[in-house]
C-alpha cells in the first residue's frame, strides 16, 4: 500500500478506548450473575453441589422439573408470592407515579405560598435512606392496626421523593408555559390543560417514574419483612429469603430448596424484563416527539 493510500485510510480514534474497556467490564460484571442464575436453575441438588463448573450446565438439564416443583412445593405458595409482588408493584408503582406527576407538575408550573420550602423538604427526603424509615413506619402502622396487611406494604410505597423531583425537572423544561397559556386562553380548565396538553409532553418521564417505582416495589425486602408475619402475604423477595433460611438450617426434609430458590430467583426477574421491553417504546416515542418540537 502506498503512502497516499495509507494517508487516506481513517483509523478509528483511540481516545474512546478506555471508556469502551470500562463499559465492556461493566457489561461482564452485570451479566455474569444473571448467567449464573440461568445456568444453575437448570440443575438439581447433585448438579449444584457436585463440584462441577458453576458457570456451565451440568450433565442433566431439568428446567421443567425445577419449574414444576417450584410451583407445587408447599401447596404452590410461590405462585401466591408472585401474585403478591405483582399487586404491591402495580399498586405502589401506579400510585407513586400519579402522586409524583401531580406534585412535580404543581411545583413546576404553579406559584403558591411556601412553594420553595415545600420543595426543599422533598429534596431533603431524598437524603434519608428508605431503610431508616422502616421502624418508625412500623410503629405508626401498628398503632392503627395495619401491620400484617397489604396496606402496610402499599401505602409507604406511594411516597417517592425522587419521582417528584424528576417530574418537577422534566415538567419545568419540557412543558412550555406558552402552550399552557394558549390552552387556558382557548377556554380549557386546569384539569383539561393538564390531562390533554401537559401530560402527553411528560410521557417519557411518567414512564420512567412508573418503571422505577414498580421495580422498587417489586424488589422491596426490608419493609415487607418488618411489616408482615403471615407468609401468605409475603412478596417473592421475602419468600425466597424464608426458603433460604430453611435451606441453610437444612430443615426442608427430602426436598432440596436450593434448586427451587435459584429457579425462583430466575422466574422473579422475568416480569421486570417484560415490563422494561414493554415500556421502552414510550421512551423512544417521547424522545421523538421532543426532537420534533
- Report the pLDDT value the prediction gives residue 249, as an integer from 0 to 100: 81
The confidence score (pLDDT) of residue 49 equals 82
The predicted-structure confidence for 226-248, as pLDDT tens digits, reads as follows: 999 999 999 999 999 999 998 88
pLDDT at 6 over 70: no
Is there a contact between 283 and 266 (Cβ–Cβ < 8 Å)? no
CATH number at residue 260: 1.10.3720.10
pLDDT the model gives residue 287: 43
In a domain, 104, yes or no: yes
Residue 170 main-chain phi, psi, to 5 deg: -70, -45
Residue 147's pLDDT band, with cuts at 50, 70 and 90, is: very high
For residue 165, being part of any structural domain is answered with yes
Q: Between the CA of residue 126 and those of 120, 135, 290, what are the distances in Å?
A: 10, 18, 28
Say how many C-beta atoms besides its own lie within 10 A of residue 205's C-beta.
Answer: 24
User: Contact at 8 Å (CB) between 171 and 198?
Assistant: yes
pTM of the model: 0.86
Residue 9 has what pLDDT?
52
Range of the domain at 172: 71-282
Q: Are 275 and 211 in contact (CB under 8 A)?
A: yes
What are the cell numbers at 43?
A: 440443575
Q: Is residue 52 part of a domain?
A: no
- Map grid coordinates 442464575 to a residue: 37
> Which band of pLDDT confidence, cut at 50, 70 and 90, is reported for residue 216?
very high
- Confirm whether 100 is domain-assigned: yes
- When pLDDT is cut at 50, 70 and 90, the band that residue 98 belongs to is very high
Of the listed ranges 52-56, 81-85, 162-166, 240-244, the one predicted with least confidence:
52-56
The answer as to whether 271 is a domain residue is yes
Give the pLDDT score at 108. 94
Note whether residue 105 is domain-resident. yes
Which of 184 and 130 is assigned the larger pLDDT? 184
Least confident of 71-75, 141-145, 162-166, 254-258: 254-258
The count of structural domains within the chain is 1
Residue with cell 460484571: 29
Is the separation of the CB atoms in 160 and 122 below 8 Å?
no
Could you report the per-residue pLDDT of 14-59, keeping only the tens digit for each? 667 888 999 999 999 999 999 999 999 998 888 888 777 888 888 7
Given a cut of 80, whether residue 286 has pLDDT beyond it is: no
Q: 89-115 b/e with 16+ CB inside 10 Å = b?
A: bebbbebbbbbbbebbbbbbbeeeeee
pLDDT for 285 beyond 60: no
Nearest to 212 by CA among 224, 222, 201, 204: 204
Identify the pLDDT of residue 110: 93
**Helix pair 203-219, 77-109: axis angle to 10 deg:** 140
Residue 12 reports pLDDT greater than 70: no
Residue 189 has pLDDT above 70, yes or no: yes
Question: CA-based angle 193:195:196, to the nearest 5?
Answer: 70
pLDDT for 243: 93
Q: Which of 32, 83, 26 is nearest to 56 (CA)?
A: 32
Amino acid at each position: 500500500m502506498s503512502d497516499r493510500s495509507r494517508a487516506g485510510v481513517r483509523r478509528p480514534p483511540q481516545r474512546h478506548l478506555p471508556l469502551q474497556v470500562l463499559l465492556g467490564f461493566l457489561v461482564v460484571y452485570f451479566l455474569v450473575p444473571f448467567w449464573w442464575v440461568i445456568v444453575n436453575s437448570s440443575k438439581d441438588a447433585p448438579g449444584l453441589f457436585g463440584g462441577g463448573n458453576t458457570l456451565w450446565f451440568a450433565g442433566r438439564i431439568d428446567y421443567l422439573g425445577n419449574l414444576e416443583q417450584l410451583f407445587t412445593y408447599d401447596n404452590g405458595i410461590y405462585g401466591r408470592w408472585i401474585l403478591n409482588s405483582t399487586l404491591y408493584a402495580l399498586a405502589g408503582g401506579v400510585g407513586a407515579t400519579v402522586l409524583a406527576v401531580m406534585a412535580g407538575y404543581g411545583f413546576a408550573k404553579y406559584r403558591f405560598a411556601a412553594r420553595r420550602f415545600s420543595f426543599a423538604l422533598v429534596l431533603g427526603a431524598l437524603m434519608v435512606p428508605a431503610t431508616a424509615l422502616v421502624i418508625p413506619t412500623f410503629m405508626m402502622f401498628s398503632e392503627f392496626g395495619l401491620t400484617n396487611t397489604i396496606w402496610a406494604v402499599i401505602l409507604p410505597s406511594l411516597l417517592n421523593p425522587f419521582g417528584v423531583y424528576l417530574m418537577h425537572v422534566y415538567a419545568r423544561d419540557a412543558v412550555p408555559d406558552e402552550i399552557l397559556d394558549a390552552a387556558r386562553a382557548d377556554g380549557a380548565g386546569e384539569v383539561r390543560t393538564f390531562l390533554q396538553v401537559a401530560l402527553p409532553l411528560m410521557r417519557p418521564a411518567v414512564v420512567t417514574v412508573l418503571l422505577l417505582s414498580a421495580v422498587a416495589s417489586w424488589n422491596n425486602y426490608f419493609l415487607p419483612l418488618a411489616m408482615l408475619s403471615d407468609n401468605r402475604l409475603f412478596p417473592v423477595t421475602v419468600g425466597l429469603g424464608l426458603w433460604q433460611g430453611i435451606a441453610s438450617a437444612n430443615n426442608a426434609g427430602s426436598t432440596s430448596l436450593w434448586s427451587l430458590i435459584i429457579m425462583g430467583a430466575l422466574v422473579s426477574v422475568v416480569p421486570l424484563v417484560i415490563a422494561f421491553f414493554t415500556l421502552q417504546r414510550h421512551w423512544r416515542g417521547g424522545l421523538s416527539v421532543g426532537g420534533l418540537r
